[in-house]
Structure 1
Amino acid sequence: MESATSESPYPGSGNWEIPIDLFGSKKHAGVSRGVLAFTDESGNIVFRVNRHPPNPNSSPLPKDKKLLLDASGNTLFSIYRYHNGSWKCYKGNSDENKELVFSVQRTLKTLTRVELEVLFAAERSNDEGCDLKVKGSPFQRSCCIYKDADLVAQSSLMYKLHQMFVSRSKFRLTIFPGTIDHALIVALFVIFLSGRK
C-alpha cells in the first residue's frame, strides 16, 4: 500500500481498506447533553462538536462557530458559518493566523434538500469546478459526499436501518475507503447539518 504523498490536497490524508462507520448523536455518556458526538462501533467517542461564540472582532462577522474535537479534546478544526450561506474551516482553534483548510458554498437550499460545493485551500491546477459535493436532506440527516462521481461518504438515520428501537436523533456516517481524512469528512457533515439554517 502506498503512503499518502505530501502533494495530496487533503489534510491528514491516508489510505483505508474498508469502510468506517461512525455513529452520531447528541446523547452520549461522558458528553454534555446537547453536544453532538461521533462514536465508533464499540461506543468510544472519536469526535465531538462544541458550539463556540465567534470572536466579535473578526470581520466579516461569522454567524456561528463550531469546534471539531478529537477523543482527547484537542481542537482539530474551527468551522465558521457566515450570513451568505458559506462556511470556512480552519485548522485548530486560533482566531489569529488562521490556516484555511476548505471553504463551502451552499448551491441549493429547499425545504427538503441542500447541496454544497467544497473547495480545498491547497493550490489548484485549475479554477474550474469544486473538489467535493455534498447532497441530501439535513432534516433526515441523510447525505452523500462525492468526489467527482465517486462516493466518499454517506449518512442515514439509524431508525431507517431496521433497528428495533432507535431514537430518530441517532444516525450513522459511513466513510468509504480513500484518501480523505475522517475528521475532514465529519467537519463537512457538521456543516451539512447546518445547511438548512
Structure 2
Amino acid sequence: MQNQQQGIINPKYCAPHNVDLAIVRKVLTLTDTFSVTDVNSKMIFNLSASLLTLHNHRVLVDAAGQPVVTLRRKMTTTHDRWQVFRGESMEMKDLIFSVKRSSFFQLKTKLDVFLANNTREEVCDFKVKGSWFERSCVVYAGESLTIVAQMNKKHTAQSIAFGKDNFMVTVYPNIDHAFIVALILILDEINQDKRQSQN
C-alpha cells in the first residue's frame, strides 16, 4: 500500500515532508478557474474549464501547461461518480482512480476513492470527508483514521475583494499531492452541484 500511495499519479509529486499548497479559485469569470501554488506562490498546477466541457470533464495541467490528469464525471450515476485518467486520456486503460459519494443523502460530503486496480470496490482506498459549509475537508487512508491530507479555507482581505476563494491544503509525507489536488477539485464540483440543486 505504501508504495502505491507514493506515486498514485506520479512519484515526482511525493515529498518526504509535509507539503503546503494554496488553491485559489477565481469565481468572477464565466467559468471557475483554479490555480495551485506552493507557499512561495510558485505555480504548480492549473485547472480551467471552457464552457463546453464545464460539466463533463476538466484537465489539470502542470506549471508548464502539460496535462497531468483528466477528471471526468459519469453522467448516468446517482452517486456522483468521477473518473480520473492519466494525461488527456479518457480510456479505461489509463484510469488511475474513481471517486463516488458514499451515499446519496448527505449533510456532510463523504467520498469513497477507489484506485483503478481495486475493481471490486468493496473497501475504498481513500476516503474524503468534507464539510460543505465550512469549506474544509480531510482525506483518510482507506477506512482508517490515518489522515493523509487536510484542507481549510483561508480568508484574506484580497481574496474577498477580488472574488477569490483561497484554500490551504496540507499534504502529508509521501502522499502524491497531484492526487490530493484532484480529489479536492472533485469535492468542489460535487459541492457546487449540491448548492445549485438547493437553490
Normalising by structure 1, we get a TM-score of 0.77
Shift of residue 150, structure 1, vs aligned partner: 0.9
Within a 5 Å distance, the mapping from 1:135-174 to structure 2 comes to 135-147=129-141, 148-159=144-155, 166-167=159-160, 169-174=165-170
1:195 pairs with 167, 179, 190, which one?
Answer: 190
Residues 112 and 96 (structure 1), Cα distance of their counterparts in 2 relative to 1, 3 Å cut: closer
2:39 corresponds in structure 1 to: 41
Normalising by structure 2, we get a TM-score of 0.76
Cα offsets for 1:153-176 (capped at 9, x unmatched)? 1100112xxx67653711101101
Cα offsets for 1:131-163 (capped at 9, x unmatched)? 00000124433100000221011100112xxx6
Unaligned runs of 5+ in 2: 194-199
1:68 pairs with 45, 48, 60, which one?
Answer: 60
CA RMSD of aligned residues (A): 3.2
Whether 2:166 is the aligned partner of 1:186: answer no
2:69 corresponds in structure 1 to: 77
Contact 1:23–1:172 at 8 Å: present in 2 too?
Answer: yes
Within a 5 Å distance, the mapping from 1:105-120 to structure 2 comes to 105-108=100-103, 112-120=107-115
Whether 2:16 is the aligned partner of 1:20: answer no
Secondary structure of residue in 2 paired with 1:184 = helix
Identity of aligned residues (%): 29
2:83 pairs with 82, 88, 110, which one?
Answer: 88
Residues 108 and 114 (structure 1), Cα distance of their counterparts in 2 relative to 1, 3 Å cut: farther
Cα offsets for 1:115-143 (capped at 9, x unmatched)? 0000001367x853110000012443310
Residues 138 and 75 (structure 1), Cα distance of their counterparts in 2 relative to 1, 3 Å cut: farther
More helix by share: 2
How many residues end up aligned between the 2 structures? 180
Whole-angstrom distance in 1 between the partners of 2:128 and 2:88:
24
Task: Answer with 89-98 or 137-146: which moved more.
Answer: 89-98
Residues 110 and 169 (structure 1), Cα distance of their counterparts in 2 relative to 1, 3 Å cut: farther
Residues 109 and 181 (structure 1), Cα distance of their counterparts in 2 relative to 1, 3 Å cut: same
